[in-house]
Structure 1
Amino acid sequence: MLNPSLNAFRPDLADKRLMGQVEAERFVDPLIKRVQVPIAPLKSGADGRSGLDTQAMLGEVVKVFEEGANGWSWVQLDGDGYVGYMPSNALGPFGGPLNDEFVVGAPTHRVSAVRTFVYPGPDLKFPAAVFLSLGAGLILGEEREVRGTRYRKLLNMPTPNGEAGWVVAQHVQDVEDKADDFVTVAESLVGTPYLWGGKSSLGIDCSGLVQLSCELAGIPMLRDASMQEKEAGVALDLSAGLPPLERGDLVFWPGHVGIMTDAETLLHANGYHMAVAREPLAGAIERIAQNEYGALRAIRRLVG
């Protein structure tokens, strides 16, 4: 059976590509849009009270199957295929000029700092308009240097007053540049608050930490811990107990995942610390065995 989290189908509506695989009253082609806000929620239902499943960043491509009258759209993220409901006002055109100053399309750069601010002008003394998280996709234009700090003009997201914003140049990198080590990316998020469904430096969950870190290193990764446990890398043999572990190994419990920073230390976003935290793996195994997740179930090593 197709996973409804990764395939857009409901009894009344489905992705046209699924015709013949699922039953639905109507099959439609999606309208392609992009996220036009710093962080957009993807929820399990079309209302503000529904649970947060994941988040999408500025510039991400989204397939829209239904634009609801209640202000929520039923969508599928193009990157990892996740399906859910997103505020319609978080979405904008897929590409092209917005006016004489703004344009949308494939990002030229990404935020490489844990987070950065968008200023109404190229000056750090100006009041920051909004913040952008690690991984946000930007289209950048003109560069200016003011009192030794370089800024780039942001072209794919107006500030709240409708004008162009500016970001600090050293906080962004070319979209084609990839991190050498996804674990280093994850380590930069130590202390980030735990947020179920979160995938930003404002709040993040265990599988979101793995996915975001891997994405910035050019490693495709599905969203949920259960999906990552099935698909990521290769499984290590646990029949004789824990094998020698390496930096970057992914450690799985039912519904939870962490990253080894070395042979003995686990890094994970978790509800015990309510943050991204490091701790000895042995202690984590003992503690987690006593709560809802139970015993360690798998270890997978990313290869290639």
Structure 2
Amino acid sequence: MSDPRLTLFDGQVAHVSLQGRVDANSFTKGTWQRCGKSTANLTRANGSQDKQLLLGERFLVISQNDHGQSFGQCERDGYVGWVNTNDLDADVPCDLKVVTLGTHCYSEPDIKSAPIEWLPMGAEVVKHSEQSNAAPQFTAISITKNQIGYVPSPHLAALSLTSPDPVIVAQTFLNAPYLWAGDSYHGIDCSGLIQRALLSCGIACPRDSDQQEATLGRVLDEHEPPNCGDIVFWKGHVGMITDENQIIHANAFHMAVAQEPFTQACSRIGQKEFGEITSIRRLSA
């Protein structure tokens, strides 16, 4: 049975790839668009939030409703859901991505100018052709068709650039507030933290913890000690080992991304939250 989180079908309209597999009123190829806000919530039909899109992220739209929402699928991880139509923009290829925890986009190439927008790690932007007008420490980007913004150049990198270590990426989020279905430093959840850490290192990663447990790496043998970078799963929760004694995870106990002793976390989670560990997985051999 298809995972509804990954099935591009809103109950009425489906993607053409699903012909013969779902009972839809109509099928369509859809239209690619991109997220036009720093973050945009992806929700279910009942309004509950599943994840967030980041600025510049591609989204394949197959339908729209009467409430100003578009249904589609995220290119990043295949997740489907509803997004406010006004939060989407044209599918213009991006050149650069934000590689710091976050950054400001300014109205002028001057740190004292008014900020236009906050951009999260992983946001993708279009470099503007009028770069020559920017001070050397800024990069000009296109905010809308008729608006230019300026981002500190050290905060941007080519889309192909990857970080060397997912643990270091995860640790940059320390103390970020916990937010169910959040995907940025303004708020992030346990599986969102793991996904962002891995994607920043060029490692494909699904969005939810059960999907991650089913696909990432290999399961450690019973007597193998966990190493730095290993991913620990509970039923409904996930974290990453940072050394032989510590784990980092976004969690509702601290209501933040926290690093704490592994045994302490296991005891509390086992007794009061998600039960026993279901697996520990290693990304590399």
TM-score after normalising by structure 1: 0.89
Aligned residues: 283
Which whole-Å CA distance do the structure 1 matches of 2:158 and 2:124 have between them? 10
SS at match of 2:118: strand
1:245 partnered with 2:226 = yes
Aligned: 1:285 with 2:269: no
Which of 158, 168, 172 in structure 1 is aligned with 2:144? 158
CA apart distance, 1:51: 1.7
Q: Give 1:218-297 correspondences, 5 Å limit.
A: 218-238=202-222, 240=223, 243-297=224-278
> What's the offset of the Cα at 1:261?
0.6
Q: Distance in 1 between matches of 2:182 and 2:272?
A: 22
Structure 2 CA distance, aligned partners of 1:37 and 1:279?
Answer: 34
Which residue of 1 is the match for residue 118 of structure 2? 131
Quote the sequence identity (%). 36
The answer as to 2:65 corresponding to 1:68 is yes
CA root-mean-square deviation:
1.6
- Measured at CA, do residues 10 and 166 of structure 1 come closer, stay the same or move farther in structure 2, by a change above 3 Å? closer
Q: Distance in 2 between matches of 1:199 and 1:174?
A: 21
> 2:30 matched to 1:43?
no
Cα distance change on mapping 1:187 and 1:87 into 2, 3 Å: same
Kept in 2, the 8 Å contact 1:144–1:150? The answer is: no
Amino acid at match of 1:54: K
Counterpart check, 1:202 vs 2:186: yes
1:182 paired residue number: 166
Q: For residue 98 of structure 1, what is the aligned residue in structure 2?
A: none
SS in 2 for 1:70: coil
Cα distance per residue 1:51-99 (max 9 Å; x no partner): 21001111111110102221001111012000100000111111xxxxx
Say which structure is richer in helix.
Answer: 2
8 Å CA contact 2:235–2:275 kept in 1: the answer is yes
Instruction: Give SS of 1:140's match.
Output: coil
Distance in structure 1 (CA, Å) of the matches to 2:196 and 2:134: 31
Q: 2:6: which partner in 1?
A: 6
Structure 1 counterpart of 2:99: 112
What's the CA shift for 1:144?
5.9
Does the CA-based 8 Å contact 2:229-2:241 persist in structure 1? yes
Question: Paired residue for 1:79?
Answer: 76
State how far apart, in whole Å, the 2-side matches of 1:9 and 1:54 are: 18
Cα pair 2:13 2:27 within 8 Å, conserved:
yes
Compute the displacement of 1:291 (Å).
2.1
Contact 1:144/1:151 (8 A) holds in 2: no
Contact 2:134 2:150 in 1 (8 A): no
Q: Which runs of 5+ in 2 are unaligned?
A: none
Partners of 2:8 and 2:147 in 1: CA distance:
36
1:261 alignment partner, SS class: strand
Whether the 8 Å contact between 2:240 and 2:248 is mirrored in structure 1 is yes
SS at match of 1:248: coil
Letter in 1 for 2:218: V
Residues 236 and 299, structure 1, Cα contact 8 Å, conserved in 2: yes
3-state SS of paired residue (2:154): helix
Question: Which AA in structure 1 matches 2:32?
Answer: I
